[in-house]
Homo-oligomer: A and B are copies of this chain.
Amino acid sequence: MAGSGELFVDLVRVETRLWNAVDVRLRAEHGLRLGQYDLLTVIAGRHECRVLDLVHEVAITVGAASKAVDRLVEAGWCRRVANPADGRSSFLELTPSGVSALSGARRTYEEEIARWTSRLLSPGALEELANALRTIRAALEAEQRP
């Protein structure tokens, strides 16, 4: 039981430090923060992405998501397009500049992550880690989103 707590602390510490490591590199080399990269990736990967989709994917509030989108729009990487089927919402899409910011940063992003994951662990250990995280994530998401 105490082991779970310790595992959780390790999880939190790893996430914090790894996020910071990737963030520092993206900023330094591409002028892009990891939170922005994350959202751009979500938007790029989903047809007719809305603010609500960001909320569910990233687990932040509607207000936070809306403001984060505002900042992406202000940076010129994203735009809101009216949803013809629903006047309450709009679709988010990357601008050419956003697409290019994203693809420009992808290699740095994957390189830094690989440095602290796939290059540190054996293929088997990596696979187990990935499986465990996928399992836990699926369970959490099933519980937190009807």
Contacts and interface: CB of A to CB of B under 8 A. Distances in A.
Q: How many copies does the complex hold?
A: 2
Nearest to A114: B4
Interface residues of A, number: 52
A129 B124 CA distance: 11
B14 A130 contact: no
A134 B17 contact: no
B19 A12 contact: yes
Contacts of A120: 135-136, 139
Contacts of A116: 136, 139-140
A63 interface: no
A11 interface: yes
Contacts of A7: 113, 117, 126, 129-130, 133
A5 interface: yes
Contacts of A3: 118, 126, 130
Interface of A: 1-22, 38, 57-59, 109-110, 113-114, 116-118, 120-121, 125-126, 128-137, 139-141, 143-144
Q: Can you list the 4 inter-chain pairs with the closest CB atoms, starting with the nearest?
A: A15-B15, A128-B128, A10-B133, A17-B140
